[in-house]
Amino acid sequence: MTTPAAPEPQTTTPADLADPPVTETPDNEVEREESGADLAHVRKLRSENKNLRERAKTAEDQLGTLNTQVESFRRNEIERIAATVLADPKDLWLGEVTPNDFLGENGNIDHERVSAHVNDIAQQRPHWTLGNQQAASPPSNRPVETLRPGATPTNYPREAPPTWSSVLNAGKIHSKDIQDR
């Protein structure tokens, strides 16, 4: 039994891929006009596609910016709710918690979910709550309002600086003092 021979692969040359030669006939003139119109139509479609791609890119950038802003607003609102119980509301984010965990079905923040989570944190770590914070230190006795730059109080008069004569005269012993002794 003989096996059938494999068909020989067909090779194409660059000449085969080139456009067929155009001859001057009335039919070819119509084809040239159509191909020119097709080329203009293709250029118009490419230009429209480029404009649409640019608009889509701009819209994606704006969407990213808006999503960041919405995320920030949600975080701030959740921290505001947590601040009623926690001393530092940013402690709420220490776990694997995101603002999306506190969203209701309509996309708004569910205050009950936030309160429940904050209460759980307060039970687990009572030292994080507002009630366990130390009282502020008492004000100092020194009035800060009356200080000038250099920390010199304004209500105390300055003494005149010593002169050389006052320093030298302070060390002298007068003859009168010696005779009196």
In the chain, how many domains are there?
A: 1
Residue-range definition of the domain harbouring residue 77: 29-132
Q: Rounded CA gap, 92 and 89, in Å?
A: 6
Mean of per-residue pLDDT scores for the chain: 75
Q: What is the pLDDT of residue 53?
A: 96
In a domain, 90, yes or no: yes
Indicate if the pLDDT at residue 84 is higher than 70. Answer: yes
Reported as a single tens digit per residue, the pLDDT across 135-172 is 556 556 666 666 566 655 556 566 777 788 777 777 66
Please compute the mean of the pLDDT values over residues 35-54 and round it to a whole number: 91
Would residue 66 count as lying in a domain? Answer: yes
Region of 93 (left: φ > 0; alpha: ψ -120 to 50; beta: rest) is alpha
Residue 141 lies in a domain: no
Greater confidence (150 vs 74) lies with: 74
For 25-72, the DSSP string reads -HHHHHHHHHHHHHHHHHHHHHHHHHHHHHHHHHHHHHHHHHHHHHHH
